[in-house]
Amino acid sequence: MTIKGLDFTSPFFLAPLAGYTDTAFRRIAHEWGSAAEVTEMVSAEGLARGGEATEALLDRYPGEDRLIVQLFAPDEDPIARCLERLMRHEPAIIDLNCGCPVNKVVRTGAGSALMRTPEVMGRMVKLLVRETALPVSVKFRLGWDRESVNYLDFARIALDNGASMLTLHARTRSQMYSGKADWSAIARLKEATKDSGAAIFASGDILSAHDAVSVMQQTGCDGVMLARGAIGRPFIFKECAALMAGEVWEPSVQERKACLMRHLDYMIEHSGEAVACREMRKHAIGYVKGLAGASRVKAAVNAAMTRADYEEAVSLIG
């Protein structure tokens, strides 16, 4: 697959996930076959102001040659002010978040609030394309609510202003993450944009390799953003590749245990042992889900303060 001259080895990407897609998670997902990984949401305003915590979200893992940065902002002003600092990090693609439904983002006019102001989104895309010459991606939803579904018009405005890639989370903002994602809308988006040359990605209810392959078959989309389905399961990317080839592959228990510890080691390398052991807990629960002894492991992980504690917890897995 090619996005504005950039070639990718597979259609399966790690989606941006606030609080999750740090350097360690992106790195281990890439090792398991993710074609590309997107940063956590980066505040354009925070970046423009030189916030250290914000800029730290742009750190790369060793060997990360393509940094895909997701920005959020209510309008083009903070976007314009953050670009000089952003471009120092040499991103490969800039993704504009128009899909985050959480109140603290929406209240600022950013995220899925932009579904109500598509002309503002269009100006933001136009600015990014003009000032960076990079591929610009837009992630968005079906609309604000069922009474204002506007994703096709929203997509047209994004493309008219130069977007090279669109990701549709097939829910409205009012749905948040409840209900069922409407994959048929992704098929309609692909059909409506088939002559644009833009890559169309699917998002929403893609929790397994079967889901990932199914959404491609059902919608004709070009790629898939794996989000919640990859938490504690970075090997899902290898599962997807196998299924696309007509095969079935699952990690062994030993591979899952080793992957958990390697993920922790990457977090320690970047953030130090204390922070890493705390932050790893939310990932570790996914790694052990469904395994013998999972409940005991979860309890041990929730109390773990050191790498040695994690080793002891992992030893409880049957």
Report the SS3 class of residue 290: coil
Residue pointed to by tokens 């070009």: 222
Structure tokens at 61: 């893992």
Residues 6+ apart with CB under 8 A from 246: none
Q: Is 283 annotated as a binding residue?
A: no
- The Cα 303–Cα 295 span in angstroms is 13
Count of alpha carbons within 13 angstroms of residue 137, beta-carbon side: 28
Distance CA 4, CA 71 (A): 19
Based on its alpha-carbon atoms, the radius of gyration of the chain, rounded to whole angstroms, reads 19
Residue 263 CB-density burial (10 A; 0-12 exposed, 13-18 middle, 19+ buried)? buried
Q: Residue 26 annotated as binding?
A: no
Query: For 298, left (φ over 0), alpha (ψ -120 to 50), or beta?
Result: alpha
Q: How far is CA 227 from CA 53, 54, 154, 234, 235, in A?
A: 23, 21, 23, 10, 13
CA dist 81 and 114 (Å) reads 19
Cα angle 274, 86, 3 (rounded to 5 degrees) comes to: 105
Q: Is 12 helix (H, G, I), strand (E, B) or coil?
A: strand
Q: Which of 82, 98, 100, 240 is catalytic?
A: 100
* 70 in a known ligand binding site: yes
The answer for residues whose C-beta is within 8 angstroms of residue 79's C-beta and 6 or more apart is 44, 71, 73, 124, 127, 128
Is-catalytic flag, 100? Answer: yes
Q: Which of 20, 6, 4 is nearest to 281 (CA)?
A: 20
Q: Residues comprising the binding site?
A: 70, 139, 169, 227-228
Q: Residues comprising the binding site for FMN?
A: 70, 139, 169, 227-228
Active site residues: 100
